Amino acid sequence: MGRKDKPKKEKQLDLGLKGSPKNLFYKLKSKLSDFLIRFEVKEFLRNPFTWFVIIISLAFIAVQIYILINNISLYPKILPVWQNQISLTKRLSKRESLYAFPIISASILILGILSTNIYYHREKFLSKILLYTIILSITGLTFAFLKLIP
């Protein structure tokens, strides 16, 4: 009972060269091109109202961050951040809690845009309502933040 030997495959032109830098460049270029094509094809990103919401929301977040960075030392140590509380002691919070305003605004924008993108092709009315909700909530947070300016 002899053992069958597998025939060896001979490599043609085995020069021992690794991938050329040009090949790596063209591979990355094709991947980037595919990514950009997928980005351009999305109907969601062609909607002008979507870009309006994104740009206005980013402007409000930038205003919050700018005012916070430039005026944080002017704020008192304790501020009435929680305006919906009845008790005065529950309204007050440290000035470091002001950092929550831009963080919450940015998270609303990111999560809202992601969920709007998911539902855009199935429920366009729902996606429009989500976009309105995003812009109204970030506008409300910005005005609440601006009320606290000394």
User: What are 18-33's pLDDT values in tens digits?
Assistant: 666 667 777 888 888 7
Asked, for residue 92, whether it belongs to a domain, the answer is: yes
Instruction: Report the C-alpha gap between 73 and 93 in whole angstroms.
Output: 15
Q: Which two tokens stand for residue 47?
A: 């909607």
Asked, for residue 140, whether it belongs to a domain, the answer is: yes
Backbone angles phi, psi at 92, to 5 degrees: -80, 145
Asked, for residue 81, whether it belongs to a domain, the answer is: yes
Asked, for residue 96, whether it belongs to a domain, the answer is: yes
Instruction: Give the pLDDT score at 125.
Output: 83
Asked, for residue 112, whether it belongs to a domain, the answer is: yes
Asked, for residue 54, whether it belongs to a domain, the answer is: no
Instruction: Give the pLDDT score at 136.
Output: 93
The count of other CB atoms within 10 Å of the CB of residue 116 is 23
Rounded alpha-carbon distances, angstroms, from residue 138 to 64, 101, 128, 134: 10, 9, 16, 6
The interaxial angle of helices 100-119 and 48-71, nearest 10 deg, is 170
Asked, for residue 145, whether it belongs to a domain, the answer is: yes
Q: Which residues constitute the domain of residue 103?
A: 64-150
Q: How many H-runs (helices) and E-runs (strands) does the chain carry?
A: 5, 2
Asked, for residue 84, whether it belongs to a domain, the answer is: yes
Q: Which two tokens stand for residue 132?
A: 């309105």
Q: Which two tokens stand for residue 62?
A: 């930038």
124: pLDDT strictly greater than 80? no
Domain count, the chain: 1
Please tell me whether the overall predicted TM-score, pTM, comes out greater than 0.75 for this model.
no
Q: Which residues are CB-neighbours of 15 under 8 A, at least 6 positions away? A: none
pLDDT band, residue 145 (cuts 50/70/90):
confident
Across 33-127, the runs of DSSP E, i.e. the strands, are 78-80, 92-94
41: pLDDT strictly greater than 60? no
